[in-house]
Structure 1
Amino acid sequence: MSYCTFCQGLPEDNVHRIYHDKYYGHPIESDRELFERLVLEINQAGLSWDTILKKQENFREAFDEFVIEKVAAYTEQDRSRLLNNAGIIRNKLKVNAAIHNAQQIIELQKEFGSFKNWILSHYPKSKEEWVKIFKKQFKFVGGEIVNEFLQSSGYLPTPHDKDCPKYAEIEQLRADFDFSFKTSS
């Protein structure tokens, strides 16, 4: 059984292996989980994914379990608390992006019913089209961040190697996932 190149030979309890096997490419429907993934992908910029995975629980605690309404309402005191939290990435642009992006998601929820619906209202698009759409709405979202966010959350085709046992599983999950946009009535 062959695994994706970056995962070959890793023990089952390795953070990369756990993420690869249980999360990477699995379609996400929950707005809270989508927001969490977006924040983690933004924080990975310029750093290793290993660093982010090892700090993931710290991020959850620091960002109130990624409850979008709570993060959107963060004050200057909250910003200061985050920038002084050694358990997360203390980058002012990334912290500000998380708060701004939470506020944007709330606006999208008002208009589309959910962050997921906003994504689906644009589905499908090329990577370049997705980047343009995300840049109009969010902060700190370049091509690599948008691509990884959409691949890791199942909205772009799986990046798993074709001989990886997870490839067929993710492709089946994507085939069963309803990618159609539904307006709330």
Structure 2
Amino acid sequence: MSTPPDEYYTAERWQNWLERVEEEDLDPEDEDAGRLLLNLQDDTAIAVAKVIAGHTDGELGQERAMEELANIREIVLPEVEMDDEDAAMLVESVQTALVPVFYAAEEYVAEGPAEDGSVADYISAAVDAEAEEDLDSAVGFCAQAGTLVIDGDSLDREVVEDLEFGYVAEWVNGLDSLQTAMRDPEVVEEEE
């Protein structure tokens, strides 16, 4: 039985999260703010994981899976208008973290998992590319790592903790959400 269009993720769902972020007086150093943003990120990663699972299970053909992923990406990644600049920056950080999640999912649906290397190898290559200011290659390497995460490989905690702040660290944070979602694609409750 196939899932109706927009069932994987809706603009209304994303908007509910954004309203919640804007209603909270978010302090980036506050644990509750971090949890809310992580839930926002995980919720999107879970939707992506469900599309991948639908494709892997044969419920969604390749073209339909790609359409569903594009639909989620079009809902989540556009620039967000918010009165609170801090909240807008925090949401932008979540969006940044999710970029390689979408690339990895699309790559996985189109080509399957990367074949030449481990998750750690690709993340190391991404770190090197970022150091050379080659962000296109860096995000590409993170996406390749993501295809392996989707395929069941693990993102090593040590690798994550050793990353210096930057794009790769944010992207790997997104892959960590993807890993969690692939293992346990339970819906994050919007209202708590």
Fold shared, TM-score > 0.5 on shorter chain: no
What is the TM-score of this pair, normalised by structure 2?
0.30
Richer in helix (by share): 2
Between the two structures, name the one with larger relative contact order (CA 8 Å, sep ≥ 6): 1
